[in-house]
Amino acid sequence: MSYPATITIDRPERMANWRPIGQVILVIPQYVVLHTVMNIAASLTAIYAWFSVLFTGKLPPGVAAFHATYVRYRARVFSYMSCLTETYPPFDFSPSVEDPGGAGISVEFSPRLEGRNRLSVLFRFIVPFAWLTLIGMLGLMFGFASLPAWVWIVELVLGAVLIPGAVFSSLVWAVSSITSIIGLIAVTLTGRWPEALFRWSAGWVRVDARLWAYSMLLTDDYPPFSID
């Protein structure tokens, strides 16, 4: 399927039986880096990109390169964690639109830098909503004052364009979680990924990467409702 974010994951012919358990442990440092340093950096640049595209109609090339690197790293971590690849994701954060290779998964982008759809960009301001969700969860846990209802309404409106894609991604994730468990059991016992199970597990990584490419304003083309 043609889309400005192309994710290719080749099913390994054979995998060592220890990998389903071993890679979940080995990926922990990558997971921590992704959900701390990289998420914070991407959130800040996403806010800058939102204002830049909204007011100038252009996405700065440097921001596009970093966002491509962020989405690529996210896909690499999740594909390794799901035992879809055997290559440990390199700690390489050099901003690049083109995939440098060497990770067992190819994630290529064709970002649109000019002539952007500002109306769709206006309703893709999702990063603060993620922060507010975290604040709301902490408030429930530790008894902080709850956020006013109007704050949530504004954030939902500003992120409205992303809702259908997020719902589809969640549904695919639910199915792929089941197929991943069954597939990892098969790998542990036989050393092989069943093709149908691999397709669904890799499908969520692909869906997630496309949604984030759209969320991070790399393209104005809505992500397809497909796992292929």
**pLDDT tens readout for residues 122-131:** 999 887 767 6
Identify the bridge partners of residue 133 per DSSP, sorted by sequence position: none
Structural contact between residues 89 and 77, judged by C-beta atoms closer than 8 angstroms: yes
Q: Residue 103: is its pLDDT beyond 90? A: no
CA–CA dist 203, 182 (Å, integer): 15
Q: How confident is the model at residue 206 (pLDDT cuts 50, 70, 90)?
A: very high
The tokens for 102 are: 């060497």
Q: The pTM is what? A: 0.89
Q: Work out the average pLDDT over 111-137.
A: 81
> Which of 36-50, 118-132, 133-147, 212-226 has the least mean pLDDT?
133-147
Alpha carbon 207 to its chain's center: 8
